[in-house]
Structure 1
């Protein structure tokens, strides 16, 4: 890699390879922190140095949670308008390696399970779920009813699993219970997500996915719609 032909989020060209060399020798919390803010920004932005660093991050990822997290954050932003298509294409073998590494890691039921699962979703190009999937303790998904365009809030967590109209003074009003899809009726990415989490005995995630890929009733017009279909249609990025 000719680092002089790329740049990080601070428009530098030399600091990222130095940090990678340091972290390949020994892990250091401050070095990981600096590397993170040099490779990725908020609002789904990643710099060319992020993709240039990805193969080396993947090599570190099998034994380092910081490397897995940062590589996952880079992959979550791979659908954005980053202008780094050639660099990303050059990471194809590393991305395949990262997919296998993440799957093996998830089977061990690690403490960073959700972080690794979201990274795997990004590798599978399910970028919208990688960006928003929570642990289903207190998750909310906002979408428009496909029939009346009312703004509906979907809650999946410890405080309920329902659809509601959110009022900033009154809170969530006119709640309607969600209708989870039975596991045997799932298909596509919902089936894949559920199979992975059920395989790894992540019961809270697995049950949450049944609701996320289930149906909701609009409190405004009482129509019923598929939650995941409507959320994905509104939030799935347009791939290059």
Structure 2
């Protein structure tokens, strides 16, 4: 039996969390914002009550149709992602993580926007314990991320999507900004999580996501010093 008053959330005592979870299960839209604010604000911080809430969140997700459990899986994924830096991480059991993983895999096969799919992939990586990928995949939805040049240290913006596929150390919105084209990585040669994510996106019919992944982690050239670099190595 969980002793909720002895646990904490973002507001202090977690005494009110069980009632909040009851209300969330009955009407998710009415309390979803408050639930996230208390258990995992900004999807980036977790508390003892957050981990204690995972079994209940698992039950809520399992009781919903695949298309109606996205927000629950986002929240559970964010809490799991925070586990590595939390002393309460042990509350997340291996079997529980595997159950979340199975629900997420089932949900990934349902129709959804590319943005929703990317955030769900990020939760999937969290449930598998895949560090780096459980935090950085959201950049795939944004169409850009940043890496530093290993030689001169300048920060490069890696752009992939509607704006094109290039790297730049300048404000790339400026038409005079210098750009260097990206060379996509071969997912088959990359192996590991990149290959896993690429195959998953193709299998789920998410071709926009699958197309972006090789560029997101491809080869770039620093526009300041001309050094060629692996974006994958700079983010891994």
Q: Specify if TM > 0.5.
A: yes
TM normalised by structure 2 equals 0.87
Match of residue 102 from structure 2: 100
Matched, 1:21 2:22: yes
Q: CA deviation at 1:136?
A: 4.3
Match of residue 205 from structure 1: 209
- Mapping of residues 227-238 of structure 1, within 5 Å: 227-232=231-236
Match of residue 75 from structure 2: 70
After TM superposition, the structure 1 stretch with the greater mean CA deviation from structure 2, 105-114 or 194-203, is 105-114
Q: CA deviation at 1:158?
A: 0.5
Match of residue 79 from structure 1: 84
Q: Residues 103 and 168 of structure 1: is their aligned pair in 2 closer, same or farther, counting only changes over 3 Å?
A: closer
Match of residue 237 from structure 1: none
Q: RMSD value over aligned CA atoms?
A: 2.3
Do the aligned partners of 1:138 and 1:158 also contact (CA within 8 Å) in 2? no
Do the aligned partners of 1:79 and 1:127 also contact (CA within 8 Å) in 2? no
Q: CA deviation at 1:3?
A: 1.3
Q: CA deviation at 1:170?
A: 4.7
After TM superposition, the structure 1 stretch with the greater mean CA deviation from structure 2, 204-213 or 167-176, is 167-176
The structure richer in helix per residue is 2
Matched, 1:41 2:41: yes
Q: CA deviation at 1:42?
A: 3.2
User: Of residues 134, 144, 149 in structure 1, which corresponds to 2:153?
Assistant: 149
Q: Residues 10 and 72 of structure 1: is their aligned pair in 2 closer, same or farther, counting only changes over 3 Å?
A: same
Q: CA deviation at 1:137?
A: 6.1
Matched, 1:129 2:130: no
- Mapping of residues 175-194 of structure 1, within 5 Å: 175-194=179-198
1:147-197 deviations in whole A, cap 9, x for unaligned?
Answer: 222221111120011011124995782101100023332311111111111
- Number of aligned pairs? 228
| Uncovered stretches (5+) of structure 1, i.e. residues with no partner | 233-240
- Mapping of residues 104-119 of structure 1, within 5 Å: 104-111=106-113, 112-119=116-123
Do the aligned partners of 2:43 and 2:79 also contact (CA within 8 Å) in 1? no
TM normalised by structure 1 equals 0.85
Do the aligned partners of 2:144 and 2:158 also contact (CA within 8 Å) in 1? yes
* Structure 2 residue matching 1:109: 3-state secondary structure: coil
Do the aligned partners of 2:81 and 2:134 also contact (CA within 8 Å) in 1? yes
Match of residue 6 from structure 1: 7
Q: Residues 149 and 172 of structure 1: is their aligned pair in 2 closer, same or farther, counting only changes over 3 Å?
A: farther
Q: Residues 137 and 68 of structure 1: is their aligned pair in 2 closer, same or farther, counting only changes over 3 Å?
A: closer
